[in-house]
Structure 1
């Protein structure tokens, strides 16, 4: 394996997402293919003098594995899926571990698929001394992919599978943490249940978009992620959120063309509003600066721990060479809010505010039966609902900022 191949493999392994356990299909030709692989597993076990117990449940575990590995290979950036080989993770009560799978059945099917050459595996590890580890990864082999002729539109969510946790909390290091539910988390979860039910009943069309190895159109369960004590709360996990704007324009909702409305310069506008100052011009337009570079800089200004941290981030992530000059000009133009720069706590507070805006907008539209697809500070609806969305975005912003935003 060459250096470049090793690097590509490393990147693919790091980009792996967890195995999705809620997939099923009732499509005859796809079921025939799955039945063929199931027959091979039965023959393999018979040859090894192993009895097939709980055949129906074994088949369900097989279907979950094959369907999700096929989706990963064809519609995800990485064909690898993360899996746990720790029996303790296959429990019903853990908040983030509702795997819907039995360890012995899952592990048995996985070993069979590996033995048949249908699945490749990278075994994980855990270094107790360093407290670091690498979760095991699996992917469909070329042998398996050559065998399958699937249609992603024929893969649906298994109604018997448990709902994933939709309210996710992380610590300062980005690791998920457990928490005690209260009336607020319960209400947010119920709101998300209603919203996700509406999404699942709707047809989010992608016919005009090249999905292959980019977007998984079955990822429509939206979740909220909180960071630290209470920061963030943004809406994530909808497949449309990773699309560039040009692709999002090609979406349809229930067969209708869409429009996308965006809060212009939301975070600097909120920072000014918190000081009682309405924004009358574009915060990203600064004489002698490229507007796109100013916008990129603002992505980190409120979230970096120091000015030097911001400089390093702007240079490394955005490849902006004149970072020092750019920051000076931003600080001069926005002196009024500059004391809020380089303050991760304030950055999380801004994320919390924009999440609150999104929550109010999504909940109200859901109550009206209007499908809305959030992309952080912008919202996609059918064109016929554009005026209604615009009015709702204005009034919701005014309710917390006492000033009207610019909406594009």
Structure 2
């Protein structure tokens, strides 16, 4: 959460100086968040501010003799969105956070908000910059996107406001991306709807409606905007058929990236959460793929000299990659240092799991993720039908503590319905301040 806005003259001056230095120096590092074109003000204070800013911009903008009949409405929608985005940064993110936006006037796709053209959006950004509501940092071609951040003036405008956010209708929940090469960003694919995608969209609408009606708090602070989850699928290159059998994991919940040491702050409908996890799910699914019985011991233990966390990352890497592992991924290297090579790690994991060794290096991981996501969604559907909200992770759920037994039953039934067998489930201890308990294995 964002630190309180400092108002002493020294702090204000320091911040303003830093902002102007960053404005002049495009190389200044910052943390960027992606622009959400569907974010809108929901509190009366923030809506009033947005309308006041729009009125100010309309007063000073040059008058044109010809414009579209809905031009003012489009400008209003953009100002509402930008004001909400700047307020979100000002009140809920650390100083220096910027909003990454696309300045390119590209062809419209299903991922764009209807009625909000890139050309008009950037024009309104420039007008808001001139009126001292935001600072714009131009992106470098093929290197970085254009970013914006609230000015000190804007931060003062929202510092004492009651603020919360909503969402305009129409945001896509089923995302399809394609790889464009190693270490290069994936591109969005503008696919055509089918019965399959419409079914998945309806499923995600239920998920988001249920989560949107839940009272989710971090400590005593409600979430600033209703959660909005998406499913992300992937194809190997942009020219492939538009299929939805790879990846499919859920994204968008702030709880998914929280540190484990912060989970004790989470509550749902006034209750602390219980953290439930499918034990060794990725390995379990690989054994199922090979037609073998599930291992009855911790699949990440039992390799002398290899930390459990490194074994977990190593098996995941071997299942996801195509071809042999030639060098250790960075995350594994940080755990094992120079004591292990990629060859030694691969050999040790093959010896530990001979039944699935033939699946290593076959690029199976994205398909296993799809199965994993189907199980999670089946469990969510059962819980939502009972009126129980649940916060999905990639391989587990966090639920109100009183719903632990119901969630365990739903998770077991979900795995049976998708793969024909009940996967083992573990309750993870949630680390709390001033105790010696640490989270158990996951």
Normalised by the size of structure 2, how large is the TM-score? 0.77
1:273 aligns with 2:288: yes
Contact 1:296/1:318 (<8 A) preserved? no
Higher mean C-alpha displacement, 316-325 vs 175-184 = 316-325
Contact 2:211/2:389 (<8 A) preserved? yes
Map 1:5-404 to 2 at 5 A. 9-10=28-29, 12=31, 15-28=32-45, 30-38=46-54, 40-45=56-61, 58-76=75-93, 79-88=97-106, 94-98=109-113, 100-102=115-117, 106-124=121-139, 126=141, 132=142, 134-149=144-159, 154-158=163-167, 161-173=168-180, 174-208=186-220, 217-218=224-225, 220-228=227-235, 229=243, 230-274=245-289, 275-288=291-304, 289-309=306-326, 311-315=328-332, 320-324=337-341, 325-344=344-363, 346-404=364-422
Deviations 1:128-173 (A, max 9, x none): xxxx46442222123322332255x732314xx2321111111133
Could you say if the C-alpha distance between residues 87 and 74 of structure 1 is closer, same or farther in structure 2, counting changes exceeding 3 Å? same
Higher mean C-alpha displacement, 102-111 vs 197-206 = 102-111
Report deviation, 1:250: 2.2
CA distance in 1, matches of 2:44, 2:269: 22
Report deviation, 1:35: 5.0
Query: Which of the pair is proportionally richer in helix?
Result: 1
CA distance in 1, matches of 2:148, 2:398: 35
CA distance in 1, matches of 2:42, 2:419: 48
CA distance in 1, matches of 2:403, 2:25: 49
Higher mean C-alpha displacement, 288-297 vs 133-142 = 133-142
Report deviation, 1:200: 1.3
Contact 2:325/2:346 (<8 A) preserved? no
Q: State how many pairs are aligned.
A: 385
Normalised by the size of structure 1, how large is the TM-score? 0.82
CA distance in 2, matches of 1:269, 1:171: 27
Could you say if the C-alpha distance between residues 385 and 81 of structure 1 is closer, same or farther in structure 2, counting changes exceeding 3 Å? same
Structure 2 unaligned spans of 5+: 1-17, 181-185, 236-242, 427-442
Structure 1 unaligned spans of 5+: 127-131
CA distance in 1, matches of 2:324, 2:25: 36
CA distance in 1, matches of 2:132, 2:154: 8
RMSD of the TM alignment (CA)?
3.2
